[in-house]
Amino acid sequence: MIMARSKYYPKKVYVEAGSRDLSLTKRILKNLPKVPIEIISRPQELIEKVKALKDPVEDGKRHLLLTRQKGGFIKPCPCTPQYIGCNYYIINLDLNCPLDCSYCILQTYLTNPLITIHVNVKDLWKQLDIFLHKKKHRALRIGTGELGDSLALDHITENSRDLVSYFRRKKNVYFELKTKTTNIENILKVEPARNIVISWSLNSHKIAQEDEKGAPSVDERIDAARRVLDKGFWLGLHFDPIIRYSGWADDYKEVIKKLLKTVDPSRIAWISLGSLRFPPPLKPIIKKRFPTTKIIYDEFIQGKDGKIRYFKPLRFELYSEIAGFIKKYGGSEIPIYLCMESGEIWERTLGWKPQGKEQVESYLSFPLD
C-alpha cells in the first residue's frame, strides 16, 4: 500500500530471523497489530523475488522488511569533488520511502526495493557515540532522510523520539529530520532543543500534485511546519528539486510567499536549493513508471558528476529567482545554500563562493547556547 496522503501501513511485514526479539522490532510489530508477519532467514531471496516483478519499486513499497544493518549506520552525504558540498553526515536507519515521487533517485539507486527498517539500534547508538566523540571539537551537521523520508514511518517506528532524545545532549551537533509528510505527532510530544532542526521538502503546487504521488499538499506541509515551529523547534526547508515548466516562477513565488507569511523567518535554520538532476539510467524508469510526466523533457546536459542537469543559464535563472523570492518575503538573514553546485553558480546566484565544504558548514552553523 502506497502512502496516499495518510499514514503508511504495509501489506505484510517480513522479519529477518534473529531480529524478532530486538526492542525496535517489538515496538514496530506492536504498532502494526493487524498486519501479517513472516519470519525469514534469507532476506536477499525476498529482495530478488520482488526485483523480478513488473514494477519492483511499487511492489516493494507494499512490504516492510525488518533487518539488521550489517555495516555502518553513519556515512558522509554523497557529493562529488566537482561540486561544493556542505560537510553533512547521514544516518541510514530506514531505506526506501512509501511516497512515490516521479523524480526519486531511489528508483534506481538502491538494490533493495522493499521499505526496510534497520532494527539493531543499539549498534546505532554505539556507532554514534564513537563517531561523535571523534568529532567533539567541531560543529557537526547530521541527519536522516537521504535514503528514505525521516518521518514517513515514524508512527510505526517512533524513532524520532529516540533520536531527538539522544541528540539534544550533543551540544556541538545540529541534528535534522527531513520529510515531505505531516506525520508530526511524535515530534509534538517531545520537548524541543536548540540543536534540533525539523525540515520540509517543498515544491510548487503543480509539481507536488502531479509528481509527488502520495505526499501531502504543499499547504498541509507548510501548516505542519508552522505547528512544529510553534512547538519550539528550528525549521529547515529544502526546495529540491526545483523543476522548470511554463509559469514555474510565479508558482514558486506563491509558495514562498505563503510559507514566509506563515512561519517566523527568524526561526529558519537554513534553506537549500537544488535543481532537477538525475543519473541517466533513471530517465527510462521515469518514462515507464510515470508516462504522463513532462519533467524529463527540457534543455539538459550531462554534468561533471555524470548526472543529467539543466543547462547552466537555466540553473542561474532558477536559483536567482527563488533566492530573490526568499529574500523579498523573508529578509536577507535566512541562510540559503545550494546543493551539489559549482562555485561559479554560487557566485552568480547567491553573491559569494565558498572555498570548500567546511566554509559552507560554518555558514550554516548558528549559536547553540
Q: Delimit the domains of the chain by residue range.
A: 69-94+133-364
Q: 306 phi and psi, to 5 degrees?
A: 90, -10
Answer yes or no: are the C-beta atoms of 211 and 204 closer than 8 Å: no
Answer yes or no: are the C-beta atoms of 185 and 152 closer than 8 Å: no
Confidence (pLDDT) at 368: 81
Answer yes or no: are the C-beta atoms of 270 and 335 closer than 8 Å: yes
Name the grid cell of 172: 556541538
> DSSP H helical segments within the chain, as ranges?
23-30, 43-51, 56-61, 106-109, 121-134, 154-157, 159-167, 185-189, 205-211, 218-231, 248-262, 282-289, 312-330, 343-350, 357-364
List, as own/partner pairs, every contact residues 353-362 make where C-beta atoms lie below 8 angstroms and the sequence separation is at least 24, other chains included.
Answer: 354/84, 356/84, 357/79, 357/84, 357/85, 357/86, 357/87, 358/87, 360/84, 360/85, 360/86, 360/87, 361/86, 361/87, 361/88, 361/139, 361/141, 362/139
Confidence (pLDDT) at 294: 97
Give the three-class secondary structure for 201.
strand
d(CA 210, CA 26): 37
Q: 162 phi and psi, to 5 degrees?
A: -70, -40
CATH of region 69-94+133-364, choose from 3.40.190.10, 1.10.3720.10, 3.80.30.30, 3.40.50.1010: 3.80.30.30
Confidence (pLDDT) at 367: 83
Q: What is the pTM of this model?
A: 0.96
Confidence (pLDDT) at 1: 41
pLDDT in 10s for each residue of the chain, 369 residues: 444 457 999 999 999 999 999 999 999 999 999 999 999 999 999 999 999 999 999 999 999 999 999 999 999 998 777 899 999 999 999 999 999 999 999 999 889 999 999 999 999 999 999 999 999 999 999 999 999 999 999 999 999 999 999 999 998 999 999 999 999 999 999 999 999 999 999 999 999 999 999 999 999 999 999 999 999 999 999 999 999 999 999 999 999 999 999 999 999 999 999 999 999 999 999 999 999 999 999 999 999 899 999 999 999 999 999 999 999 999 999 999 999 999 999 999 999 999 999 999 999 998 886
d(CA 165, CA 223): 24
Confidence (pLDDT) at 5: 52
Interaxial angle between packed helices 159-167 and 121-134, expressed in degrees from 0 to 180 and rounded to the nearest 10: 20
Q: What share of the chain is helix, strand, coil (3-state, %, to 5)?
A: 40, 20, 40
